[in-house]
Amino acid sequence: MRRSESVASSGSADRLPLSEVGEAPDYRFTLANERTFLAWVRTALALMAAGVALVQYGPGPALVRHALGLLMILLGGVLAGVSYRHWERTERAMRVGADLPRSPIPRLVAGVLTLAAAVALALTVVEMAGS
Amino acid sequence: MTEQGAGLGAGRDTGLQPERTAMAWQRTALGLGGVSALLVHDAESRIALATPGVVGLAGALALLLLVERRYEHTIRQVTSGGTPMGPRLVRWTAWGTVLLSVAAVAVVLGVAATPQ
């Protein structure tokens, strides 16, 4: 099932429909890939929900709340799109027995979340000190 | 124990992978519904701004129903040695979520622009 010299890197194989590339891997791998995709979509949805909540109930001036909230909602949208692409590339790699693709998303999510949390914390502290 | 009826029983995966995958889909559908409900709540009585949330809720409900069909399809494929890979629902879910995020931006901006 596993071919080390894969045809995936030849470029033309990237454009074939998934079902015509290589051969189906162990179904458990396919399902695991699907669940990973779904986990990322739920992360995207959680970011969107947090963004909407931040705008409504967050600390600080309205402009900052909106900027931060909208950033999180948009990151959620980007994440959903990127996670589909990642699912597709992973499935393709598994079908030809190539190495699984690396993903930039964990780093991106961690970065934006750290930023959002730091700003929200700072705003909360400032607000508490002021009242 | 080996006879489980309805043709869905034979050769079942002891790791319950199809079940876990189906439940991951259900949680995702619930998440979609949750965000949609939040958007409806955010829009309050602004009918136009509530539309994306209502559409999202309908989509989440549809997804819950489709997931049930997908689970049965997965079981059938797995027991017959086929692949449960199905890109269509994956694609729809991803683009639906992207669309929901764009709609959420519009709702948040719309709410800010029309104070009640």
pTM of the model: 0.86
A13-23 pLDDT, tens digit per residue, is 567 888 888 88
Q: Report the residue of B13, B14, B83 to disrupt the A interface, i.e. the one with the largest count of A CBs within 10 Å.
A: B83
Which two three-digit tokens encode residue B10? 């034979």
pLDDT reading at B13 higher than 80: no
pLDDT reading at B98 higher than 90: yes
Residue B1 counted as domain residue: no
pLDDT reading at A2 higher than 50: no
The reply to whether ipTM tops 0.90 is: no
A48-91 pLDDT, tens digit per residue, is 999 999 999 888 889 999 999 999 999 999 999 999 999 999 99
Residue B10 counted as domain residue: no
The greatest distance separating any two alpha carbons of chain A, rounded to the nearest whole angstrom, comes to 66
Residue B75 counted as domain residue: yes
Report d(CA A118, CA A116) in Å as an integer: 5
Q: What's the number of domains chain B is made of?
A: 1
Residue B9 counted as domain residue: no
A105-125 pLDDT, tens digit per residue, is 888 889 988 988 898 899 889
Q: Which residue of A has its CA nearest to B84?
A: A27
Domain of residue B50, residue span? 16-113
Residue B60 counted as domain residue: yes
CB A31 within 8 A of CB B71: no
Q: So what's the pLDDT on residue A4?
A: 44
Q: Would you mind telling me the total number of residues written for chain A in this entry?
A: 131
Residue B102 at interface with chain A, using a CB cutoff of 8 Å: yes
